[in-house]
Every structure is written in C-alpha cells, then in structure tokens.
Structure 1
C-alpha cells in the first residue's frame, strides 16, 4: 500500500479503510489539535470501537502503548503501538454536536464532530446508525479525586503522533475537532488541520 499523507481539514472529518495488520499514524501536526477517532468493523457498521468496553479491557481510563481497544462486542480492533504525544488522550467526552454548541451559546450552525464523522463515512459510501463515543486523541481532560474534570489544552508537541494497529479489517474515521470556545484545541481556541498516514504493519 502506498504511504500517502492525508489531511484531516480543520473543523472537518475524513475516513479510511484500514486492513488488519496495517498501522495508521495520526499526526498532531500543529501540536494543539484534538482528533476525535472512531473505528468500525469493515462489513458490519453495527460493531465499533467502544470506549466503555475498552476501559474494562485495558483496566485503565486512557490507552497507553501496548493497550488494545475493543469493540462493543468486546473484540480487539485497534492497538496502540507507539505514541510520542505524551500519552494524554480522552475516552469519556462525547463527540461535540449541534446541541453542545447551543449549550455554549452558539446561534446558527457550528461545525461539529458528530456531523464530521458521518460526512467522512459518506465519502466512502458508508453510513453509521449512531455516533459512538470517540477516542479523543490528544485531548487533555484531567480529573481529580473528587471526580471533577477540567478542559485543558493538549500536552502534545507539533508533529507528535500515535500509531494504531488494526486487529481486524476496519473503517477508521477522524474529525479535526472544531471546538473554538473552550481551550481544548490550545489556548488560542483555534482548530487546525491534522494528518494521518496508513502504513504497512510488517515493521511493527
């Protein structure tokens, strides 16, 4: 497979097929961009990467190198094989949607990760009947012992990346999160493009 860098445009979404054994490199090009990430089993869009099932499988709240994320049928789908971003990601926060921005005071349409997921899938001629909770790559949502969370800028550096290996044929979808009201995309609250590359998994 030819290695081609694909842009996930700022505020928009992209999707790609990822054959079993291949690796996808998700690059935080500016260092401050959150990338919502989903994976669906190729051939059955009702089976997808599940954050609640993955937390139980990993015995931790966020994935580290060597951890495998699983589907809503508890089958392995993506494994973290490398991560230069600081290993700070989020598995709790739902994809932003029109109602999230309405709650933040936005009037009129605002780009959102839910719509970006479905638009990215549509480019491949695919559709999902729901929006699963995403793996929010590079998203920094710290918590304290009282159970409170906060919304912080990513800790990743420009050009840092995570490598995810497909444990089965899947469709991987991304959204360069368009959040521009709270500082999850950096203190400037400016969504930017990220990138991905599909790699032959033989080297991993």
Structure 2
C-alpha cells in the first residue's frame, strides 16, 4: 500500500487491465483524482465528457470514466462508500485560496498534480477538472451547490480498472477552510495500491 501524504500528491502508471484502489484511510479525506493516457498526455479523463456519456452527475460501480476524446479510460468496479463523489468542482489552486481570504501560499491540488506528475518525469498540458473522490457536494432542485462534510468512514475505498494504459494522479486535498475534509479542518494522508 502506497501513501498519498497529507496535503500532497502522488502519481502511478496503471496498465490496461490493472486496477488502482484508492483508500480513504481515516474516513474524511477528499482525494482529487486524474487519469492521463500513457504516451499522449493531451488525452485525459474528462468530467464533462463523462457526465455527458453517463447522463449522471456521479459515477457509480459499473460506470466508465471517459476522456476528452470520449474513450473509456477507467471503470469504477468497487465503491464501499455511500457514493458521494464530485464531478463538478475544479481542483483547488492558489487563486481559490486568495478568494477564500488566504494571504500567503496555501498547498493546493493543482500544484500537487503537477508535482506528482513531475516526479515521474511528466508534465501535464493542463490541470483537468478532477474526479473528486469522497467529496460531498449536494445539489438542490434549483441548482444550488454546497460544500458539505464527507459521508465516508475510515477504510472506505474505490477501485478503478484501467481500460487504457494510463497515469493516475491523486491529491490528498489540503482544503482546510471549507468543511469538505470534515468540520475540524484536519487533512490527512490517504493510500492507494495497484492491483493486477
């Protein structure tokens, strides 16, 4: 089992047919998740293309996750949580924290993505909108969204099977102003493992 350190990112090569299991170790940690096609980083998992294909705001077990070229890159094969995952909210970045009133540098998922990919010698062309695993963003009939605490418990996990050779990047989200990582504002590590 590999560690995604608190407030940091990790990336891993996942071959077609392998799976990656992402574990919410302490039960209240959002994990921003991206997937890039190996050998062509300009093709990546796209939330807007996935929503259009699934006609759903949340993927569930059995659903594919699709690239910006409308190819299936991952399939969700297991989910022990309540299924509260977000496909709407962009990864946090320095500008987001400025808007939230932070004056100095704040760890963020966008920088974590680039650092994680660079640790493999790769540079993504952009920061795509992530699949925010374990992030609870309810919506109302009139279209309003809210940033709510997670509904997960320690050890909840999601397993994603690779349908293409890809690089999966993950960030243990450092958001400690809004309650998406729990009301205490404490961010923690998460874990992952590659399954053959």
State TM-score, norm by structure 2.
0.99
In structure 2, what is the equivalent of residue 34 of structure 1? Answer: 30
Q: Quick one: which of 95, 104, 116 aligns to 1:99?
A: 95
Q: Quick one: which of 102, 112, 118 aligns to 2:108?
A: 112
Q: Quick one: which of 59, 62, 71 aligns to 2:58?
A: 62
Whole-angstrom CA distance in 2 between matches of 1:59 and 1:141: 17
User: How much has 1:108 moved relative to structure 2?
Assistant: 1.1
Q: Helix, strand or coil for the counterpart of 1:80? A: strand
Mapped pair 1:20 → 2:25: no
Mapped pair 1:159 → 2:155: yes
In structure 2, what is the equivalent of residue 149 of structure 1? Answer: 145
Q: How many pairs are equivalent?
A: 196
Q: Quick one: which of 6, 11, 18 aligns to 1:10?
A: 6
Matches within 5 A, 1:81-100: 81-100=77-96
Mapped pair 1:134 → 2:130: yes
Could you list the per-position Cα deviations for residues 9-50 of structure 1 after superposition, in whole angstroms to 9, with x for gaps in the alignment? Answer: 000000000000001000000100000000000000000000
Could you list the per-position Cα deviations for residues 59-96 of structure 1 after superposition, in whole angstroms to 9, with x for gaps in the alignment? Answer: 21110000000000000001000100111100000000
Whole-angstrom CA distance in 2 between matches of 1:11 and 1:167: 29
User: How much has 1:161 moved relative to structure 2?
Assistant: 0.2
Whole-angstrom CA distance in 2 between matches of 1:39 and 1:136: 12
Unaligned runs of 5+ in 2: none
State TM-score, norm by structure 1.
0.95
What is the aligned-residue RMSD (CA, Å)?
0.5
Unaligned runs of 5+ in 1: none
Whole-angstrom CA distance in 1 between matches of 2:53 and 2:2: 31
